[in-house]
Chain A
Amino acid sequence: MIYEGRAWRVGDNIDTDLIIPARYLVTTSQEELGRHCLAGLDPEFAGKVGPGDILVAGANFGCGSSREHAPLAIKGCGIACVVAVSFARIFFRNAINLGLPVVECREASRIPEGHRLRVDIEAGLIQDLATRETYGITPYPTFIRDILIHGGLVPWAKQRKEA
């Protein structure tokens, strides 16, 4: 699980209303939700990010509503991985369940906007490819890692049934 992309910085307490405002919750389409990703913060955001980019946030990312449309919108706009100082519980579960890697990094606030990052989950490291600076990642509990490796809760549950 290695991800390389440009860092897009957002602040603390980015709630799911900012990630996908309620007026867009009239569809289950990842692609359509992706066009409005972070529209509550910056309506232009979805148009600016590229496939494989990395969202870097402060503390308590994804607080508020349980809407799974939030991690779906993030996936839908092409973001490959979210790094944050900390995640709100429900968002964290939802992202893992959808196979979206969410990485806790206590030093995430030090990562500069626009730098290219390499996130290596197995190695437990984020590397800033511009400055070569590295940051540690909080390791996943085995149970969570297992779901993520299988690509989310649905594929995880299906392989468990087959096994």
Chain B
Amino acid sequence: MTLAERIIAAHAGRPVEPGEFVEVPVDFVLANDITAPLAIQAFRALGAKRVFDPARVALVPDHFTPSKDVKSAEQCRIMREFAREQRIAGYFEVGRGGIEHVLLPEAGLVLPGEIAVGADSHTCTYGALSAFATGMGSTDIAYALAKGKTWLRVPKTIRVELRGEPPPWVMGKDVVLHLIGEVGVSGANWCALEFGGDLEGIPLDDRLAIANMAVEAGATTGLFPPDEAVLEYIAGRARRPFTLLFPDPDAAYYEVIEIDLGELRPLVAQPHLPENVVPAEELGEVRIDQVVIGSCTGGRWRDLLVAAEILKGRKVHPEVRCLVIPGTQELHLRAVREGLAEVFLSAGAVLSTPTCGPCLGGHMGILAAGERAVSTTNRNFRGRMGHPESEVYLASPAVAAASAVLGRIASPEELMGRGKG
């Protein structure tokens, strides 16, 4: 069995095969300020009184928070009151939390071998920690909250074999953009991605970015094996015991894709689909108005560190607005303590409290008609960050920071050379 099949089988209590429908117990359930109110409505409609286990639920205000207007404040209030009523341990108030998919791994709430479901498509992020984690809608999440179970269609597995080591300034974001460029935005629909091969050169923060965007290829989840890097990350964080599961050496894959990491270049995905991938250096003169460095894809410590390395001693281009959004309160504090905050602010960037805000055109950096952004986020759909006539180019924090300085889409190598920084 593949890793996805192993994890599902361990939960179903029997072997499973791709395509079949199974009901499985879930280890963790998540919703946010946009999706929780609908889930709570459906939870009540189910006639449920208590959540299955308040220690295994997270409700995270992060999308339109700090609340952008009265209506979004009302949505937050519905979620906050439910969290209090149900004594949900994993309710993270503004100022003590952050962006859900950066926050929950940091808080040790999702662990290897587990099944985690969330009312957010980027729940697949936790695949980097070897959890079968997948996004669903609010009604599915209401059912999981009430019963501690969900139904799954066992996905076919696409094995992604990584070979070699990425060059300096090539990040996890480039790996996943390359993959999406290869398979397309629906190429892995109803499939699991399973990453393997030379994983040593891919830091955990980068793996989280890779797993995060599995859904942009349509995948149910994007799984990494629980290797040393995962165990090291989890040590001291894990809130529960967990089981390590691995794919069988003779597992049957639906498809195998090989990626030579050494050949990768800093990439961008052009509007309006994440599959429109080209090397940043091949774009020519593409002027930009805004840069966003943050989100559940690109707002982790290594993302901030790489961006700071490029922005240090430099200035954001006069015609560009650069927004830096650390993914959690803890990362924001660390950025202050370790001098990154000063680098960003001195460069003329905005340093924001954690929020999904601009990524989905919510608040904190909406684009006007005709404006163009380079963003470390995950979607460049038409109108995603604001006006339908605006444009988003997806890129790594390295490309985003270099572009912020140069005022046009640029490879970080242009500023930093091809060697290690």
**B170-203 near A? 1/0 per residue, CB < 8 Å:** 0000000000000001100110000000000000
Q: How large is the interface on A (under 10, 10 to 19, 20 to 34, 35 or more residues)?
A: 35 or more
**B92-131 near A? 1/0 per residue, CB < 8 Å:** 0000000000000000000000000001110100000000
**Contact across chains for A94 and B139 when beta carbons are under 8 A apart:** yes
Among B252-260, B307-315, B381-389, the stretch that binds chain A is B381-389
The complex places the Cα of A60 from the Cα of B388 at a distance, in Å, of 20
The one of A26, A64, A97 in contact with B121, judged by C-beta atoms closer than 8 angstroms, is A64
Please count how many residues in chain B sit with their CB below 8 Å of the partner chain's CB atoms.
49
Chain B residues in 8 Å Cβ range of A157: 46, 143, 147
Chain B residues in 8 Å Cβ range of A141: 21, 153
**Contact across chains for A153 and B143 when beta carbons are under 8 A apart:** yes
**Contact across chains for B21 and A17 when beta carbons are under 8 A apart:** no
**Contact across chains for B41 and A28 when beta carbons are under 8 A apart:** yes
**Contact across chains for B137 and A18 when beta carbons are under 8 A apart:** no
The complex places the Cα of A68 from the Cα of B138 at a distance, in Å, of 6
**Contact across chains for A86 and B189 when beta carbons are under 8 A apart:** yes
The complex places the Cα of A63 from the Cα of B121 at a distance, in Å, of 10
Chain B nearest CB from A17 CB (Å) reads 5
**Contact across chains for A18 and B381 when beta carbons are under 8 A apart:** yes
- Near A by CB (< 8 A), chain B positions 24-62 give 34-35, 37-38, 41-42, 45-47
A131 at the interface (CB under 8 A from B): no
Query: What 13 additional pairs, Cβ within 8 angstroms, besides A26-B72, A60-B185, A66-B120?
Result: A15-B381, A17-B384, A23-B361, A25-B64, A60-B218, A65-B120, A67-B35, A67-B137, A69-B38, A89-B189, A90-B136, A93-B140, A158-B46
**What are 15 pairs between A and B in contact, CB < 8 Å?**
A15-B379, A17-B361, A25-B63, A26-B69, A26-B72, A40-B382, A60-B185, A65-B360, A68-B137, A69-B38, A88-B186, A88-B189, A93-B140, A141-B21, A154-B45
**Interface set of B (CB-CB < 8 Å, partner A):** 21, 34-35, 37-38, 41-42, 45-47, 63-64, 69, 71-72, 74-75, 119-121, 123, 135-140, 142-143, 147, 151, 153, 185-186, 189-190, 215, 218, 220, 273, 360-362, 379, 381-384, 388
**Interface set of A (CB-CB < 8 Å, partner B):** 13, 15, 17-18, 21-23, 25-28, 40, 59-60, 63-69, 71-72, 86, 88-90, 93-94, 97-98, 141, 143, 152-154, 157-158, 161
Which 9 A-B residue pairings sit nearest by Cβ, starting from the closest?
A: A94-B137, A26-B71, A68-B137, A60-B186, A97-B139, A66-B121, A22-B360, A68-B138, A143-B21
